[in-house]
Structure 1
Amino acid sequence: MFKPHSITLTLAVSLLAGCQAVNTTSGGAVGVERKQYMFSMLSTEQVNQMYAQSYQETLSEASSKGVLEKSSAIDKRVDAIAKRLIAQVSVFRPDAAQWNWEVNVIDSPELNANCGPGGKIIFYTGLIEKLKLTDDEIAAVMGHEIAHALREHGREAMSKAYGVQMATQLGSAFGVGDGSLQLANMGVEYLMTLPNSRSNENEADLIGLELAARAGYNPNAAVTLWQKMGAQGGSAPPEFMSTHPSSDSRTAALKANIPKVMPLYEKARR
């Protein structure tokens, strides 16, 4: 019979064996090079499929309520911006060009937007209309969200949660299987509602900045975007900011990196 410390050691070795250090994207002009630790048993395909199901459920609900925008002016505007940004994703991740990208707009006062694993984009009209976003600012939001998907930040967060969960199941011989089931159940939470880490946010800021610049959108709009977001704070900050915390240091980092991508923007404009 194993003693508790022996079980802990066995699980620790198993966790390390099932964890891979990867870099999901190339660094680009902004130089995002951090290694990420992912569980091999939690594949990209599994996470993409999990999110795709949740995405379709969201669209079905919106459609049943008559708030799924189709062929409206704002829908066409968002779709056009998305196409220009998606055309640049291979710079960071060649396989992403083959993802089954989807772009949808929901008529809702929410100040929110998201690009989930596998390239599933949702924009809420409230974000665009209430903040009076320019095309450049929409591109800044969307580039940031696409960057989260390219870097697989959702899968990374789930891998960390899975590791903690497995490590705490010391007394059950079937702990890994139970963990898999629980992980699937909380997948949507980790993919859609939990705040991103500061490092993940910084990576999304920088890659999004470059994506927008390469697509011909002014990178300075990333600064005005977060200024507008910050002005919407107070006692009830926008939902977008609850999962994408803003700060003065974020704006400073964006300003410091704009010179790196400005030549790409100027080239795209020419």
Structure 2
Amino acid sequence: MTCSPFCSCLQRRVFLQTSGILLLAPSVGLAQTTSREGVDVGGNSVFTQLVSAETIEQSAAQQYAQMLQQAASKNTLGGKDQPQVRRLRSIAQKIIPHALGWNPRAKNWRWEVNLIGSQQINAFCMPGGKIAFYSGILEQLKLTDDEVATVMGHEIAHALREHARERMGKNAATGIGANLLSSVLGLGQLGQTVTSYGAQLLTLKFSRGDESEADLVGMELAARAGFDPRAGVSLWQKMAAASKGAPPQWLSTHPSGNTRIADIQANLPKVLPLYQRAGAIQVK
């Protein structure tokens, strides 16, 4: 969906782009971790350990491929030469190198970025780096590149922090109940439970805590990639305006606009220096 986000990247970034797949070329070295800068969101949930990352990523890849096939059959899948598709992939190429510091598995993900023609205000990144934007979020909100990077960083953060894996682990634990310990040891019933939840990846709902965490990790990713993290404020103002009446699907489990704007503003001092260094500009 690479260089560590804990330091500046001096290595040459080379990407191969074919049919929407963004692959980090083997010639790219990995930057070394020095000191931790940026936001602090703590460690991953223990519930992620109840579910195999490989299982989740394989299921996500299958569902993503099916979604693209359906979109193509309806002529709603954006072609590689469409300006908005090129724009999304260009922004992704700048953000993805900074993913490894949040999840070492991201080095081997087969990142994909695609555009679906739909009036829905929606975007997502499935486990394994499978990104999709709906045209509605770009057109109706008239997003700037910085705002697109904020949305993309947020969605990538969900994948890096393995929120789907955590949610499915919690669901599996709840379903197993009293047999949890024996199931973990044997992995029989747990595996069946996880498989049953795997089909829900496209509709899986994250908690508000997950959404707040993704906001912070996403703004750091965007800042390190050279996008202004202050765009999060204008983005959520646009979202608030669009959500009057029936809220967009993308906002159904998200914190309120005022809450997330306050959180973004409180964390800007942690990421503005990263943005300044990435763009070699003076932040005012």
Q: Please tell me the TM-score bracket, short chain as reference.
A: 0.7 to 0.9
| Identical counterparts, % of pairs | 47
Q: Highest CA radius of gyration, 1 or 2? A: 1
Contact 2:48–2:162 (CA under 8 A) maintained in structure 1: no
Change over 3 Å in CA distance of 1:178–1:152 after alignment to 2:
same
Q: Indicate the residue corresponding to 1:246 in structure 2.
A: 256
Give the aligned partner of residue 173 of structure 2. Answer: 163
The partner residue of 2:56 within 47, 51, 58 is: 47
Distance change in 2, residues 1:248/1:27 (3 Å) = farther
Correspondent of 2:196 among 185, 188, 200: 185
- For residues 250 and 156 of structure 1, what CA distance do their matches in structure 2 show? 22
Establish whether residue 115 from structure 1 lines up as the match of residue 132 from structure 2.
Answer: no
Q: Distance in 2 between matches of 1:57 and 1:28?
A: 39
SS of residue paired to 1:91 = coil
Q: What is the distance in 2 between the residues matched to 1:220 and 1:236?
A: 26
- Given candidates 94, 99, 105, the residue that maps to 1:95 is 105
CA distance in 2, matches of 1:149, 1:35: 12
The unaligned stretches of length 5 or more in structure 2 are: 1-34
Long gaps (5+) in structure 1: 1-25
**Residue number in structure 2 paired with 1:73:** 83
- Aligned position for 1:214: 224
Kindly provide the amino acid, as one letter, of the partner of residue 91 in structure 1. G
The amino acid that maps onto 2:191 is S
1:198 aligns with 2:227: no
Is the Cα contact below 8 Å between 2:123 and 2:132 reproduced in 1? yes
Distance of 1:67 and 1:137 partners within structure 2: 23
Output the amino acid matched with 2:54.
E
RMSD: 2.2
Q: For residues 43 and 27 of structure 1, what CA distance do their matches in structure 2 show?
A: 28
Q: Which residue of 2 aligns with 1:31?
A: 40
Give the conservation status (yes or no) of the 8 Å contact 2:121–2:249.
yes
TM-score by length of 1: 0.83
In structure 2, the residue corresponding to 1:186 is in which secondary structure? Answer: helix
Distance 1:157 1:141 in 2: 21
> 1:9-28 counterparts in 2 under 5 A?
28=37
Task: Please give the per-residue CA displacement for 1:201-240, whole angstroms capped at 9, x wherever unaligned.
Answer: 1211111010000000000101111111111113321111
SS of equivalent to 1:69: coil
- Tell me, yes or no, if structure 1 residue 135 matches structure 2 residue 145: yes
- Post-superposition shift, 1:39? 5.4
SS at match of 1:259: helix
What is the alpha-carbon distance in structure 1 between the residues aligned to residue 203 and residue 255 of structure 2? 13
User: Structure 1 residue 58 and structure 2 residue 58: aligned?
Assistant: no
- What does the per-residue CA deviation read over 1:237-266, in whole Å, with 9 as the maximum and x for residues that have no partner? 111111434342211010010111101111
Aligned partners of 2:235 and 2:199: how far apart in 1?
A: 27
Q: Does 1:147 align with 2:157?
A: yes
Superposition deviation, residue 28 in structure 1: 4.8
- Relative distance call for 1:98 and 1:183 in structure 2 (3 A) is closer
Higher helix share: 1
The 2-side partners of 1:132 and 1:204 are apart by 22
Question: 1:41 offset after TM fit, Å?
Answer: 5.0
SS in 2 for 1:90: coil
Change (3 A) 1:33 1:41: closer
Structure 2 counterpart of 1:217, which letter?
Answer: F
Distance 2:178 2:252 in 1: 28
